[in-house]
Amino acid sequence: MDLVGQVQTAKACIVGIFATHPEVVVLDVQLEGGMGMDVLKAVPCADPGIASVVFNNNSAAAPALLTH
């Protein structure tokens, strides 16, 4: 697996996904300038075949992740 991008903000992540069409997106729920959930909603628009791995250290957010 090759790293094709590394960004700090939700907006930059979404732009990068549309530009590079990676096989996997690894992200945290909390991002600068937005939420990882915003990124998860954008991934299928870029390419429905992209897999997503989300890291979260807040157990209260887990149910929201499982519904997406």
Is residue 15, in this structure, part of any structural domain at all?
yes
Is residue 5, in this structure, part of any structural domain at all?
no
Give the range of the structural domain holding residue 51, as residue numbers without chain letter.
10-66
pLDDT in tens, 20-59: 999 999 988 888 888 888 888 888 888 888 988 888 776 6
**pTM exceeding 0.85:** no
Instruction: Give, to the nearest 10 degrees, the angle between helix 10-20 and helix 36-46.
Output: 20
Classify burial at 55, counting beta carbons within 10 Å of its beta carbon; exposed 0-12, middle 13-18, buried 19 or more. exposed
Q: How many domains does the chain have?
A: 1
C-beta separation of 50 from 24 below 8 A = yes
Which pLDDT does position 64 carry in this prediction? 58
Which pLDDT does position 58 carry in this prediction? 66
